[in-house]
Structure 1
Amino acid sequence: MVLPIVSDKLTLARTRVVATQTIVLPAPLIAFGNLFRDYLGRGWIVWVVILIVSIGLLLPRLRANRPALALLLWVVGGVVLMYVLNPVLGFFLARYSWWVMMGIALLVALGLAYLPKQAVTGAAVILLGLSFVATPLNEQSSALNDNLEWLHTHIQPGDALVIDPANNCGSPSEWDYAIRAYFPDGLLVASNPDGYRRVWYVTFNGRQTPALSHQISDQGVAEEFVGPAGCFIQLNQAAPDVNGILFENGMRFHGVDVLDADGRLWSAPAVRHEGETVTIRLWWSADKPIDLDYSVGTYILGGSLLAQVDGAPQLIFPEKAPHETSRWKTDQLYIEERTLKLPDQFPIGDYTFNLDLAVYDSQSNQRVNAPGEDADHLLLMRQIFVKAW
């Protein structure tokens, strides 16, 4: 059970090395300056002055003060080493080199210890004040990596990523690195949701580009999400059949999804064994106010009735939506889930069964007409294949 996980992590490590080699750092002095600015926060100018004073106090004493020499090598040598090894490790970032900051703190403390007592008191007051200045860590870059790592386990074939210009996930180079690391086989990125049923929308939640946000929300249902507001990724999923099939009572059927054991869409042929279950998701809307509370029947048929679930729509979306169809609103998608259980025993062989749908008045049991129904007013949704051992 562990081997697939180990293999996946090794693949991720290899792709990380390949992606890291594509990152080009600035010239050494500029790169070092940027890194120390990340360490020192918004009060970095004051910290630089304090660091220069500390080093100035230590330089005349380096030969006799081995700890000072060791700390200086710790700070300077550590940064140089990370810069040189960055094409392999990709660790030339503040969050990976926190240990260098410890060396800076110790170096400053050791140097300021040589100040006169009154100056030491003044330096202590300044340092205490700087401790209340927030350090602008690049949280969004970290969120981008965390989000794409999560997305790697949730995305499905055919899904598209639509990136709103209004997002704070990271620079283009950070996007390039993260996509190469977590999606070595590529990631489908689209400029708009047209033509895609499942769209992962990346945006700054609350600051979306209005036109793009409305286009995405109009085409699907907002589902699972990940990330902080600045780097927010949410799945928007459209119905299987946008146009749908209109029943005479005003209910419009927008198609069926078959789900696997983990609740993910299963687009391949649905194959089950005896005694197993078939979980389906039905999509509905209402073209007009519906006069009665209708029931929905789902059946697995193959010469005889093998499994069925009857009753009012078992809605999972919208949250707290009414199961009574007479209370449904127009211009609203409704999603329900049902689970049908196959018989425990079949003769050995391969079987093909129909997964059928009916809408009916539960008081009279009269089924509602719709285009494509058979003589029994059953609508074929798809076929179910059973392999009996």
Structure 2
Amino acid sequence: MIYFRFAEFVAMRSKIYPAWWGAVGILFLLFVAMIVSIPYTFMHPDEGLSYQFTAGDFSRTMRMVKTDVHPPLWFASFWGWQQIFGDFEYVARIQAIFLSVVTLSLVYQLGRRWFDAARYGVYAMILLGANAFFFTHATEIRPYPLVMLSAAWSMLLFQRWLIRQTWSTAIGYGLSCALLMYVHYFLSFLIVVQVVYFVIRRPHRQLIKQGVFAGLLGFVLWLPWLPVLIAQVEHLRAINSGGPLGVQSTTHATTLREIERLLRFTTNDLLWLYMMLLVAGAIVLWRKSNYQLVLLWAIGVPGLAFVANLFLAVYTQRYFVYLTIGIALAISAAFVALPRRLQTIAFVAVALLSFVALPAQLPERTPYREVFQQMSAAAHPDDIVFFDHFRRRDDFLRWQYRHYLSADLQNNIVFDLDELLALGNVRRIWHVTNNARKSSVRNHFRAIESTRPLVGGFGDCRSSACLLARLLEGPPLREQVVFGDEVGYLGTDIDWIDTTRIDMRLWWRVDRQPTFDYSIGVHLLDENGRLIAQNDGAVHYFNVDMLPVSQLVPEQFYIDYRTLELPENVAPGRYELRLIVYQWWDGTRLLLPDGSDSLLVTQIDL
């Protein structure tokens, strides 16, 4: 029965609204795009605060919120989400994506209802999906996905009330106002825009009564939180003594440069194209009340914010991310200025340009998750992690390594060079820093590198999202074994063994530059001393360069990468891996201190 009713619903929607299936398809594609983006989206410190606020029980979460500058609704919802699904970054972004998908569906309804054609709703959805400002915050582990959802929902209810002018729709709008203030305080700018639009419309007495009732209803529902807001304001006043009231630590002054930054971010740096579309839309649609409301949403919200920011510290881009919805709707409606046949072609061109511009506008974030996971995959149980230029009590860093470093690495973390040196003869050290150019960091790295050469690493510091994890590894032997009083051997690391090959790294060091280009041989012998496989030649320096032995520089480590290719159907048994150094032109071997001409590296069972 349920199946047939669902099939009947789908058939009805498809018949009445042919664009409905297209909207569903676009919504699904945008959902998939956001899901696919998760592995490439790295957490930043403000998202770490979301976990810090919601750690522990619910009462602690509320205490944390009250002592900060936030309303409670999103933090309460995020706390509940973690109780069900855990505190993993991936599932946290899933919550944000679910909220954003609902937002996009509401945007479709706004475009379809306000401009009398479903295509405008579809246009707005696509433009939002291609908008870096929206896309960045649509997957954020912060309140902004809920901010955008509540803004779209409030606008839908607001316009619905103005059209129907019933007490029930007025109540719905009043409830949405309370919702806005429980989600984010700066959604109050959206309420101001709605009030301005309401006054411009010159409402009749009955509508004014309903509006007053809706406002009072929203205020009464929000009233229990008002004492908390007052306490938060007093806390800010104490922190900002002598400065403007507001969130000074995260806000930016109203300047032409800041206005330009907002314009470029909200338009994917296609500012002139978007401006031309807005002007075209305004010329054609300026008499249409819904378009006036959209322009107030898109332009009035940031305009009010910049003016208020002259007196109160209230402006940061992300606080007003919900203006992107107004811009998407305004741009979408602007295509009505074109002949119907050209609308789709023009929109496709604008959408393609927006999607092409999107990647360059996305912010760079430090890839802690990626680098720490790579470290964990390459680490040995006794490795030490040295966090250089990090604070020991950095909560964001602690969250990252507790979730993405292996348990062995988590147990071997140090934050101070003296603490590291006190550990003694540690063979493998991961030097991790987010400021590789700082002189003290470079000095620390050189101090470690003097006894442990750099053998690998992950990350880079070529951008502002700097994170570099470099593995410095000392040789297996503390005392070298010298061939012919010239070539010092410091041990072998066996990296891989199977029935087809043996991968290894030989460690060399010389006290003085060798006289001749000796050949180094790695030989695998069976129990009868018969040669099974060999690899002879110069030093395979880091498996890149063939370095003649005569070019080895004193007091420097050389890592010699070798692979023994084993013959087919090699018999099971115990084998000896032996090392020789000899004169390639006549086969004369360099002797060891005990007089032998070969060194047993290890025994291998195949």
Please report how far the alpha carbon of residue 181 of structure 1 lies from its aligned counterpart in structure 2 after TM superposition: 2.6
SS of 1:370's equivalent in the other structure is: coil
SS at match of 1:192: helix
Deviation at 1:297, TM superposition (A): 0.9
8 Å CA contact 1:316–1:335 kept in 2: the answer is yes
- Residue 217, structure 1, aligned to residue 298, structure 2: no
Secondary structure of 1:290's partner? coil
2:427 to 197, 207, 212: 197
CA distances 1:129-152 after superposition (whole Å, capped 9, x unpaired): 99x966699977x63333323323
From 29, 54, 72, the counterpart of 2:66: 29
Q: Is the 8 A contact 2:383 2:427 kept in 1?
A: yes
Of the candidates 91, 96, 99, which is equivalent to residue 141 of structure 2?
A: 96
Q: Which residue of 1 aligns with 2:193?
A: 112
Write the letter of the residue equivalent to 1:198: R
What is the letter of the counterpart of residue 378 of structure 1? S
Indicate how the Cα distance of structure 1 residues 105 and 228 shifts in structure 2: closer, same or farther if over 3 A, else same. Answer: farther
Query: Counterparts of 1:222 and 1:135 in 2: how far apart (Å)?
Result: 41
Partners of 1:184 and 1:279 lie apart in 2 by: 25
* Greater C-alpha radius of gyration: 2
Once the two structures are TM-superposed, the CA of residue 171 in structure 1 deviates from its matched residue by 4.9
- 1:234 and 2:458 equivalent? no
Name the SS for the 1:367 alignment partner.
coil
Q: Which amino acid aligns with 1:218?
A: S
Identity of aligned residues (%): 20
Contact 1:32 1:79 in 2 (8 A): no
Deviations 1:36-77 (A, max 9, x none): 8xxxxxxxxxxxxxxxxxxxxxxxxxxxxxxxxxxxxxxx63
5+ residue gaps, structure 1, are: 1-16, 37-75, 261-269
The whole-number CA distance in structure 1 between the counterparts of 2:432 and 2:145 is 33
Aligned 1:1-389 pairs, distance under 5 A: 25=61, 27-33=64-70, 77-83=73-79, 85=81, 89-90=86-87, 95-97=140-142, 98-103=144-149, 106=152, 107=187, 108-109=189-190, 111-115=192-196, 125=303, 143-164=367-388, 166-167=389-390, 171-183=393-405, 185-186=407-408, 187=410, 188-190=412-414, 191-192=419-420, 194-203=424-433, 204-207=435-438, 208-209=440-441, 212-229=444-461, 230-260=466-496, 272-273=498-499, 276-302=500-526, 303=528, 304-316=530-542, 320=545, 323-346=547-570, 350-372=572-594, 374=596, 377-386=597-606
More strand by share: 1
Task: Give 1:368 shift.
Answer: 0.9
1:241 is displaced (CA, Å) by: 1.4
Higher helix share: 2
Aligned to 1:12: none
Judge conservation of contact 2:373–2:405 (CA < 8 Å) in 1: no
Instruction: Normalising by structure 1, report the TM-score.
Output: 0.65
Deviation at 1:385?
A: 1.2
Task: Give the letter for the 1:326 counterpart.
Answer: S
The whole-number CA distance in structure 1 between the counterparts of 2:428 and 2:476 is 10
User: SS state of the match for residue 279, structure 1?
Assistant: strand
- Cα shift readout 1:82-129 (whole Å, capped 9, x = no counterpart): 245556644599821331231476554464144378996775546689
- Give the Cα–Cα distance (whole angstroms) in 2 for the partners of residues 221 and 31 of structure 1: 47
TM (norm. structure 2) is 0.44
Residue 232 of structure 1: how far off its partner (Å): 2.2
- d(CA) in 2 for partners of 1:343, 1:149: 36
Structure 2 distance, partners of 1:167, 1:284, is: 34
Counterpart of 1:309, as a letter, is N
- Count of aligned positions: 305
Change in Cα spacing, 1:21 to 1:175, as seen in structure 2 (3 Å) is same
The amino acid of 2:65's aligned partner reads P
Instruction: Give the letter aligned to residue 386 of structure 2.
Output: V
Q: CA deviation at 1:189?
A: 1.9
The CA deviation at 1:255 is: 0.9
* Bigger RCO of structures 1 and 2 (CA < 8 A, at least 6 apart): 1
Q: 2 CA distance for matches of 1:155 and 1:184?
A: 8
How far, CA to CA, are the matches of 1:240 and 1:225 in structure 2?
19
Quote the RMSD (CA, aligned, Å): 3.9
Rounded to whole Å, the distance in 1 between the matches of 2:570 and 2:149 is: 72
- What SS is found at the alignment partner of 2:469? strand
